[in-house]
């Protein structure tokens, strides 16, 4: 239950898979990251012509990854519904005609949607290179991205058997008590999947007591990599605006104080800065945005912590 003053929001099932699908379309960055863009449903076919329609495709141009997206409801059978559906989508995604279709859709979206174009510009991908960059990403294996309202043991076990990497995110719906038209949705913090077979397949870090997704700024403080009261900075130039520099103070509870407000997440702290600069961006990766006085990002400090041998 969520409580806002005298208002209570109770957890509620999604009305349909279509409702969850639309929530993902409207909020895809909170799962696939700030350098991703989302392509809508498109019919694709296997080598023998069997048609299938994934719920969408997310392409992360910053991380050079792409996702077959299949929004699901937990009550759907893994074996009779999810597994056969995703298998057909994987086979269809490997066809060259599918990849050409997705490249064309991506280029069309780049040309028609300023928000998508800005993401390419932010990481210095010129217009002339858009088709090549997207094409190169699509030549890699897709990640199976499954936003879902809950995860069963069978779904976890099935995901871990696939050759392809799988990320499962839990998205929840809350409805105001006695006012079912007022709805809020809960997304994971910092784009964190509930299950990520890509991370599970990587070699174990020396500091195996902490998983990458679970590292918080308080861990960096306890590891001696950040100090309470330390100032870290972030530079940002909005499109058609002037470059700005923001400072954050590390607080003793592991939060960051920026523009007179404290944030428990580096990404929300960074978002406050870029929106203050005039950007309409919805998300930003604070771990790669904030740097200390030695020009190391929080992500680099996190890697340093994970690679520290514990006794």
What pLDDT score does 208 carry?
56
Structure tokens at 154: 């069978």
Mean pLDDT of the chain: 93
**What integer pLDDT is reported at residue 182 of this predicted model?**
96
Predicted local confidence at residue 46, as pLDDT: 86
Residue 283, pLDDT score: 93
Q: Tell me the average pLDDT across 278-297.
A: 93
pLDDT grade for 309, boundaries at 50, 70 and 90: low
Q: Among all chains, which residue has been given the structure tokens 């397949």?
A: 201
With 60 as the cut, is the pLDDT of residue 178 above it? yes
Which run of H or of E encompasses 121?
A: helix 114-122
Q: Which residue has the higher pLDDT, 204 or 198?
A: 198
Q: What is the dihedral of CA 134, 136, 137, 138, to 10 degrees?
A: 90
- Enter the pTM of the model: 0.90
Whole-number pLDDT of residue 48: 87
Q: Is residue 137 over pLDDT 70? A: yes
What is the predicted pLDDT for the residue at 243? 86
pLDDT (tens digit per residue) in 204-224: 766 655 566 778 999 999 999
pLDDT band at 265 (very low <50, low <70, confident <90, very high): very high
């Amino acid at each position: 239950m969520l409580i806002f003053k005298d208002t209570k929001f109770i957890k509620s099932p999604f009305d349909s898979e279509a409702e969850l699908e639309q929530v993902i379309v409207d909020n895809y960055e909170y799962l696939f990251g700030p350098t991703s863009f989302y392509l809508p449903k498109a019919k694709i076919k296997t080598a023998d012509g069997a048609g299938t329609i994934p719920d969408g495709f997310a392409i992360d141009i910053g991380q050079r990854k792409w996702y077959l997206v299949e929004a699901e409801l937990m009550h759907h059978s893994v074996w009779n519904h999810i597994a056969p559906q995703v298998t057909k989508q994987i086979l269809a995604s490997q066809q060259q005609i599918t990849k050409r279709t997705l490249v064309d859709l991506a280029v069309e979206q780049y040309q028609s949607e300023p928000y998508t174009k800005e993401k390419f510009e932010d990481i210095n991908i010129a217009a002339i290179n858009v088709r090549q960059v997207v094409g190169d990403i699509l030549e890699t294996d897709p990640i199976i991205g499954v936003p879902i309202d809950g995860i069963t043991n069978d779904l976890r076990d099935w995901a871990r058997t696939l050759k392809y990497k799988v990320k499962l995110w839990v998205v929840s719906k809350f409805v105001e008590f006695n006012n079912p038209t007022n709805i809020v949705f809960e997304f994971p913090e910092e784009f964190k999947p509930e299950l990520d077979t890509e991370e599970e397949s990587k070699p174990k870090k020396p500091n195996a007591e902490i998983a990458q997704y679970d590292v918080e700024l308080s861990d960096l403080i306890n590891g001696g990599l950040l100090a309470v009261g330390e100032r870290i900075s972030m530079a940002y130039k909005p499109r058609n605006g002037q470059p700005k520099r923001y400072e954050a103070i590390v607080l003793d509870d592991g939060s960051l104080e920026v523009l007179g407000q404290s944030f428990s997440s580096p990404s929300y702290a960074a978002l406050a800065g870029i929106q203050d600069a005039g950007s309409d961006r919805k998300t930003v990766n604070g771990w790669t945005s904030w740097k200390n006085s030695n020009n190391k990002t929080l992500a680099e400090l996190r890697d340093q912590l994970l690679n520290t041998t514990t006794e």
